Structure 1
Amino acid sequence: MPTPLDPAPQTDKGAASPGRTSPDGLVAEPDDYALGRSRGGLTTKIHLAVGASSHVLATVVTAGQRADAPVFAEVMARIRVPRIGGGYPSTRPAHVLADRAYSSRKTREYLRRRQIPHTIPQKRDQVGHRRRRGSAGGRPPGFGREKCKARHKVEGRIGLLEQARGVGTRYEKLAVRFEATFQLTLVRQALWHLNRDPGALQWLHYSWPTMPELFGINHLTLSTTDLDRLVAYYTELLGAVLAFERAATPFDPRIAVIDVGGDDHLMIVETATAPTADLDPLGKAGWGLRVGTHAQLCEVREQILGAGWPVGPIETLPTQWTMTARDPDGRPVDVRAHRPRTSSPSPTTG
């Protein structure tokens, strides 16, 4: 039976220990206790994934004689960066930097399969082997010397961890307890850093952007003193659809939301007095709508003229046809139709 002073032998030098399984089916402790014999005697190796802000993203503990490259995929699989606003955690870094120990075909294929850019220097024997094969050796992988210099953050983070005696010198019998020791060390170092500099919370942030994804403008808001008149203008003349209407309450005004197509909406709020700000400070249309074809644009123009509301002529631009109308509140509305890409003669409007 293996003990901390006599690790269990491994038949495959690079294979991971299967571990003893607990009654609930989870691996509780590796059979070798994450202890192995290397030049320094009985040692344990900590594999880290560190972000650009020196924040530790993932950790794996193995025996000291284990090579780095076979554990690379396991370390990457443990990266889970929470997203702001919820959702699935981010698992794919923007770029991976690693030293020569990870320069293997399997590692590079793994990164290419996940479409992760990477900078890993080649080993000297790999370079020589490729050159001896000539054209059959293929092209060398890309390598950015300046970008690779940022790899010092991993070494610096390991040095910071080893300042804790319980991490630099392992005293625990079980690997799970040793892993808990340096996890607590990470927490203690983070709290110490925040205590010295409360404004340095960015030091704990993750190394790639976690901003929420934007999908466009949700709605525009207009104010009017006559909600029914303005809604009728946009729905009956411009083809919008009334999506929602709410009556006034003692605390909130009456509003209506109309669908103008393309998952875009216009919110109209009824107020007691007209807005005092200039409706068109730039002298141009404040916002615009789009129809499908030039014929539809002409049809909309005729409907607006038939209703007695002002509308300008249709102008021909290099990529579209456009006209400017005025809604019942005098607000400019730009209505456009995109021109086809083919070079055909432009229709004219009488």
Structure 2
Amino acid sequence: MQSIDSHRPLILVVDDAPDSIEPIVDCLHRADFRTRIATSGSRALQLAGDKPLPDLILLDVTMPDMDGYEVCRQLMNNPATASIPVIFLTIRNEETDEQRGFDAGAVDYITKPISPPLVLTRIRNHLTLKTASDFLRDRNSYLEHEVTRRTRELSLIQDATIVAMASLAETRDNETGNHIRRTQSYLRALARHLQTHPRYAAELTDENIDLMYKSAPLHDIGKVGIPDRILLKPGRLTPTEFEVMKTHTTLGRDAINRAEALFGVSASFLRFAKEIAYSHQEKWDGSGYPLGLAGERIPLSARLMAVADVYDALISKRVYKPAISHADAVEIMREGSGKHFDPAIIDAFLVLQGEFLAIAQRFADRDTDPASEAERLRLVFGG
């Protein structure tokens, strides 16, 4: 339990002249203040940092080892003591001396000989201001902590929402969970590489890349609405079946719109998920679906997803096709530049192709080999 004495304000008195210290300390004690005494600048710096910290410091200017201005500057430069108000008590009464005191960080400047009522009033005023300042600082610290906590909580809710929706899609799709991990990792690698690209830098902020990465698993969420006879068909789709399959883009966007409606918002963290789900099958030359968008009319997040998704589809075994080698997939992607894909994104892909292969190997499906046989043997035997 705190003692009653600990609630009395503690004043550090700094002066090298005993005949100056005695009347000040006597005045403070009669006003029910506690005191500490330092007779040099170096001792003042030491006592100012001792717990409990002083509530206020009365500081003389003229001292032999270190003048009061330097003591005050050092106190203000130390985070532990910077918030302690300093009042100069000095015989130096020139206007320039007073200005030097305020420039050093003092809150007040009183010339000697002192008037005890005046000094006590000034001390009480500055202690009141310090109490208010401490309250505001503590409150701001609490609010910052609360904002950080709630932001982290919101981020976890966002992650959980996306994971839940992506898991729902996985239960219907003939692709694997590792496909989701690979494609979101490809997308993030491309986006980070393009952060310095003059056309994309403004959109590819760290925050947006993080949201795109989280949203990537929802690119095929619309497949939950495709009938099993089409979604799980082992052979090629008929033209009619393919038209049904193409609706997964619209179904995906609509599913995310409904999720946003449940949140009661129209522009949420799912904005990139909507873009990716609806537009990742569009092609740079306008021959894609569902809208036949071309060039930069296709959202950037969807253009990134198109490269990630097609590369992974090429190197992965499916019930309706075998996997091809990484090298062959790279050539197909290169040929698609300016037709299927944004040329700038393909340029980034070609620079990052080694990283893509590493991601594919890290998240490889059990029966899918992302590298050619020669590449696989090289990796196994370290050649």
- Determine if the TM-score, normalized by the shorter chain, exceeds 0.5: no
TM-score (norm 1): 0.31
Q: Greater share of strand residues, 1 or 2? A: 1
TM-score (norm 2): 0.29
Q: Greater share of helix residues, 1 or 2? A: 2
